Amino acid sequence: GNVIRCPPPQELQEARTWSGACDLRPLDGNLLRWEGLLLPNTPPYSTGAFRFELTFSPHHPLSPPCATLRTSIYHPGVDTTGRVCQPLTSAQHWVPTTRAIQVLQDLLLMLDSPDTERVLRQELSHELRQQPEVFWRRAEEHTRCHAEPRPEDRLDRPAP
């Protein structure tokens, strides 16, 4: 029959213990759709948090999940609709034993290190190669305007 296989609850628990994301939860209680905030480690993205959605296939884990960024980001590997260039979750690279936390870790790594090989926006990739200082300035400005506040910024802690 058509049994929908959700990722096991321990995958959500495991992903929740990871420091690279916070506010991780099923969207509207739907275990096939998670949302949360990604917390990049490298400037300029590290000044903000980026809301993402991870949508699992009804054929999980045989088919890969799909990550989308809900927060706008100035990054060559993420298009204007939030689609992400993530080889790990492409049909040809997907391995059913890959866990959700690995998908999120890979996504964060990709955000942290814009790569001119993994590209959905050619013009940004070009800018990063030809005029890196322009790219980083625009990325910083964009992050300031669009990213959500990081949870640690909501606490009254002095910045390091």
CA 83 vs CA 65, 78, 80, 124: distances in Å? 12, 6, 7, 15
Token pair listed for 134: 């322009």
Residues 47-79 have pLDDT tens digits of: 999 999 999 998 999 999 999 999 999 999 999
Quick one: pLDDT at residue 153? 61
Cβ–Cβ contacts within 10 Å for residue 102, how many?
A: 16
The pLDDT confidence band at residue 1, using thresholds 50, 70 and 90, is low
**Catalytic residue list contains 85:** yes
Quick one: pLDDT at residue 115? 87
Query: With 90 as the cut, is the pLDDT of residue 146 above it?
Result: yes
CA 121 vs CA 1, 79, 81: distances in Å? 41, 6, 11
Mean pLDDT of the chain: 92
The pLDDT confidence band at residue 37, using thresholds 50, 70 and 90, is very high
Active-site residue (options: 6, 22, 85, 145)? 85
Quick check: pTM over 0.85? yes
Quick one: pLDDT at residue 9? 85
Quick one: pLDDT at residue 5? 74
Which superfamily, per CATH, for 9-147? Ubiquitin Conjugating Enzyme (3.10.110.10)
Give the mean model confidence (pLDDT) for residues 69-98.
96
